[in-house]
Structure formats: C-alpha cells, structure tokens
Structure 1
C-alpha cells in the first residue's frame, strides 16, 4: 500500500495553506496526495435531516466537485504536481469525513487551523480539533498565514466605510 497524505480542502485561505504544505509533504515522502472536500446540504447538519429531491443532491454534489477543482487549480496554477493527486468530495461533517478518509496509521492527515468562517462560527466545532482527537494517524495542523489576519482586518475596515463618500475638495 502506497503512503498517502490526506488534506482537508474548503477553498479558504487556511485550507489552501494546508494544501500547499500537504503537497510539500507528498513530494518529500514520495506519497500520493488525497485532497478531500466535505460538503453538506443547504442548512448544514440540520438541513441534512430535511427531505431533498435528487436534483438538489446532484446540484450540491456538482457544486462540491466544482469547488474542489477550483481549489486545486488555484493551488497548482504554476504547474502539475510531481506526485499522484486524488480529489475526493464526500457528503458529511468535515472533521468526520477527514478522519474516515484515512486508510492506515502510516497516512498523514493535514488540516488548516484558520478561521472557520463567518457563518455560524460559534456553532461549528473546530475541524482541526476533531481530527487531532479522533484520527488514527499523525495529524499536521497548519496554522494560518499571518497575512490572513491582516487581510481580514483590511476587509473589515473596508466594509465599515460609509456608503456615501465625498469627492475630494468638497
């Protein structure tokens, strides 16, 4: 069985940092890289209890595949990686999906520890924390890039500008 590096991908800056680190680990270890994107139905965990038709399921699955392809294209825009790259989209909670994607104790699970986003941040458990607690293999938790915090601060300042601005000299 070939060594694997499993990495969680969401498209966020933190997950892209984790993806780049996982790619470096795959290159160094001559391992295959398995990029995993977990997806859920609208409404998250609670939405999963509702009854959705097959068309909604198909649209959500296709959107997840598109998001994963976009993240991989962004991460590897400079060229094809020098290792086997596998993309996988799985319906479920991100932490549980990543832990389940691990095949053996020889795998390495790479996760970002960046922000969980603005959507329900207090209600969602940390994916990195879940993986550290439940994975059966080593877990590499990649901290966010310090520039990410500065970018978030700039965005907050930009959004708080008044909607009507004066022209210079008036």
Structure 2
C-alpha cells in the first residue's frame, strides 16, 4: 500500500488562494491525501516614510502571516467540512520559491491564479506562473470561483 498523496497549497488569504485551498481539500478527500497549507512572508521594507517608518519586527510579520493562514484554513474548513488532515507551514521567504521548495517531494502543488499583488487584468499572477514553469510535480492553478 502506497503513501498518501501529499498536496501543497499556497495560501495568502486572497480569493484565488481560498479557491485553491477548497480545490486541494476536495481533491485530497477523494484521493485520501494530506494537505500542507503554506503561507510565505518577507520582511517589510519601507523606502519612503515620513517622518519615520513604523517598526514592524520579523516576529510581528510572521505572526500576521500565521494568523492569516489559520483564519483562511478555518474559514474554508467551516464552509467545506472535511476529514482531510491540514498541516500549516509559515515560511519566511518569497512565495514562489517557498512553494517550490516545499513541493519538491509533493505529489501535487495547488495555487490560485492570482494573489494579492500585481495587475488585476492578467490571467496568471507571477507566483502561479513561476510555479507552473519550475515545479518538479504537477501544478493545478485554480481561478477564484473555480474551486
């Protein structure tokens, strides 16, 4: 008997990532897999601030990311009850690189088509496009409303 399929899903709280999480949970439910919900954060930098930039520590940034991840997973699980185990990963680093690193030995990587940044009119965001291009496992890109 083989190991349970391991599914990594990128979560940032955006509608696209919520759709991706719903899709990943549904898929895992059908195939008996496990889900790792991952949020990545980078230290905030302020180039121009008057009179002085607010002080936001790495610890604060990590805590905010963790809270966003937990809130998104809890909201999604409440709307779509599941028995699928969901592991939480809060990672310091760029989103695309963090997802690719964690999906290196995964069976599937799931991302939303667009996150919080970028240009609203583009079909794919930079993170999803980078993941599709560089992942060592299959990648599913989910559009908001498509999960």
Q: TM over 0.5, yes or no?
A: yes
What is residue 102 of structure 1 aligned with on the other side?
Answer: 103
After TM superposition, the score normalised by the length of structure 2 is 0.80
Q: How many residues align?
A: 131
Answer 1 or 2: higher relative contact order, Cα 8 Å, separation at least 6: 2
What is residue 43 of structure 2 aligned with on the other side?
Answer: 41
RMSD: 2.2
How do residues 1-170 of structure 1 correspond to structure 2 at under 5 angstroms?
1-43=3-45, 56-78=57-79, 80-104=81-105, 107-114=107-114, 116-117=115-116, 121=118, 126-145=126-145
Query: Cα deviation per residue 1:93-130 (whole Å; 9 max; x = unaligned)?
Result: 111110101142x510001103x43x5x26xx611100
Where structure 1 has 5 or more consecutive residues not aligned to the other structure, the ranges are 47-54, 147-170
In the superposition, relative to structure 1, how do residues 66 and 107 fare at CA in structure 2: closer, same or farther (>3 Å)?
A: same
Where structure 2 has 5 or more consecutive residues not aligned to the other structure, the ranges are 48-55, 120-124
Q: In the aligned structure 1, how far is the partner of 2:84 from the partner of 2:78?
A: 15
Q: CA deviation at 1:138?
A: 0.3
Assess if the C-alpha contact under 8 Å between 2:104 and 2:135 holds in 1: no
When Rg is computed on C-alpha atoms for both structures, the one with the higher figure is 1
In the superposition, relative to structure 1, how do residues 134 and 77 fare at CA in structure 2: closer, same or farther (>3 Å)?
A: same
Q: In the aligned structure 2, how far is the partner of 1:96 from the partner of 1:69?
A: 21
After TM superposition, the score normalised by the length of structure 1 is 0.70
